[in-house]
């Protein structure tokens, strides 16, 4: 048997230290299967700059694989 990576999804979570109740998530589908961890984090950090005061607090990578006999 072998496993083939077919798709990746990343979910970013952002917070704002000025507002403890504020939390926003953004989900991106169809992440290139060759994307490195550093590239994924760099994109999340770039998104954080779009809203003043936001910081990236979490990035969760979900991978979808097919198991082939």
Q: Residue 44 belongs to what domain range?
A: 2-68
pLDDT the model gives residue 55: 97
pLDDT the model gives residue 1: 86
Report whether pLDDT(57) > 90.
yes
Domain count, the chain: 1
Q: How does pLDDT run across 13-56, given as a tens digit for each residue? A: 999 999 999 999 999 999 999 999 999 999 999 999 999 999 99
Q: Can you tell me whether residue 2 is helix, strand or coil? A: strand
Q: What are the structure tokens assigned to 59, written together?
A: 């990035």
Among 38, 32, 41, 33, residue whose Cα is nearest residue 60: 41
pLDDT the model gives residue 44: 97
pLDDT the model gives residue 31: 95
**Helix/strand/coil (H, E, C) string of 4-63?**
EEEEEEEEEEEEECCEEEEEEEEEECCCCCCCCHHHHHHHHHHHHCCCCCCEEEEEEEEE
């Amino acid at each position: 048997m072998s496993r083939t990576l077919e798709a990746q999804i990343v979910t970013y979570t952002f917070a704002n230290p000025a507002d403890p109740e504020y939390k926003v998530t953004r989900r991106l589908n169809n992440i290139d299967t060759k994307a490195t961890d550093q590239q994924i984090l760099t994109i999340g950090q770039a998104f954080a700059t779009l809203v003043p005061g936001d910081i990236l607090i979490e990035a969760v990578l979900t991978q979808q694989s097919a198991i082939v006999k």
